[in-house]
Amino acid sequence: MGLVATITSGLRTRLIARAGGIDLTRLDKVPDHLAWPLQRAGVDPVPRLGEMRDRDPVTKLTSFLGLDVWLVTGDAEAREVLSDRTSYSTDIRPYMGRSGSATEGDIGGLGFTDPPEHSRLRKLLTPEFTMRRLARLQPAIEDVVERQLDELAAALEVDGSVDLAQAFAFPVPFLVICELLGLPDDRREHFRTLASARFDVSEGGMGAVGAISGSREFLLAEATRQRHDPGPGLIGQIIRDHGDEINDFDLGGLADGVFTGGLETSASMLALGSALLLQDRDHWKRVATEPESVPAVVEELLRYLSVVQVAFPRFVKTDVIVAGRPIRKGAVVLVSIPAANRDPRAYAGDVLDPARATGSHLAFGHGMHRCVGAELARMELRTAFPALARRFPDMQLAVPMEELSFHGMSIVYGVESVPVTLR
Ligand code: HEM
SS3 334: strand
Nearest alpha carbon, ligand 1 atom 26: 262
Q: Which residues contact 226 (CB under 8 A, 6 or more apart)?
A: 182, 235, 236, 239
pLDDT score at 260:
87
Q: How far does Cα 319 stand from its chain's mean position?
A: 29
Nearest alpha carbon, ligand 1 atom 35: 258
pLDDT score at 208:
40
Q: How far is the CA of 144 from the centre of ligand 1 (A)?
A: 21
Positive or negative: CA dihedral 361, 364, 366, 372: negative
Q: How do residues 104-152 score in pLDDT, each as one tens digit?
A: 445 557 898 999 999 999 999 999 999 999 999 999 999 999 999 999 9
Nearest alpha carbon, ligand 1 atom 24: 262
Q: Which amino acid is at 367?
A: G
Q: How far does Cα 149 stand from its chain's mean position?
A: 24
Q: How far is the CA of 326 from the centre of ligand 1 (A)?
A: 29
pLDDT score at 22:
65
Q: How far is the CA of 263 from the centre of ligand 1 (A)?
A: 10
Q: How far is the CA of 262 from the centre of ligand 1 (A)?
A: 6
pLDDT score at 44:
97
pLDDT score at 322:
98
Atom of ligand 1 nearest to the CA of 173: 27
pLDDT score at 212:
52
Q: Is 80 exposed, middle or buried (0-12, 13-18, 19+ CB in 10 A)?
A: buried
pLDDT score at 21:
61
Ligand 1, pocket-test mutation among 371, 380, 381, most atoms within 8 A of CB: 371
How many Cβ atoms are within 10 Å of 218's Cβ, its own excluded?
A: 20
* Antiparallel, parallel or unpaired: β 67-72 and 332-335: parallel
pLDDT score at 13:
46
Cα angle vertex 184, ends 183, 186, to 5°? 125
Q: How far is the CA of 365 from the centre of ligand 1 (A)?
A: 8
- Pocket around ligand 1: residues whose beta carbon is below 6 Å from it? 82, 110-111, 122, 177, 180, 257-258, 261-262, 265-266, 269, 307-308, 311-312, 337, 363-365, 367, 369-373, 376-377
SS3 332: strand
Longest pairwise C-alpha distance within the chain: 66
Q: Which amino acid is at 223?
A: A
To the nearest whole number, what is the mean pLDDT of the chain? 88
CA distance 180 to 237: 10
CA distance 69 to 24: 14
Q: What single DSSP character describes residue 412?
A: B
SS3 333: strand
pLDDT score at 100:
41
Q: Which residues of the chain have pLDDT under 70?
A: 1-29, 96-108, 197-213
Ligand 1, pocket-test mutation among 88, 128, 176, 364, most atoms within 8 A of CB: 364
Atom of ligand 1 nearest to the CA of 380: 27
pLDDT score at 33:
77
CA distance 333 to 89: 10
* Residue among 39, 26, 18 nearest 336 (CA): 39
Atom of ligand 1 nearest to the CA of 366: 16
Nearest alpha carbon, ligand 1 atom 27: 262
Q: How do residues 322-371 score in pLDDT, each as one tens digit?
A: 999 999 999 999 999 999 999 999 999 999 999 999 999 999 999 999 99
pLDDT score at 35:
84
Q: How far is the CA of 381 from the centre of ligand 1 (A)?
A: 15
Q: How far is the CA of 269 from the centre of ligand 1 (A)?
A: 13
Nearest alpha carbon, ligand 1 atom 1: 266
Q: What single DSSP character describes residue 271?
A: H
Note the pTM of the prediction, 2 decimals.
0.91
Nearest alpha carbon, ligand 1 atom 9: 364
CA distance 253 to 212: 10
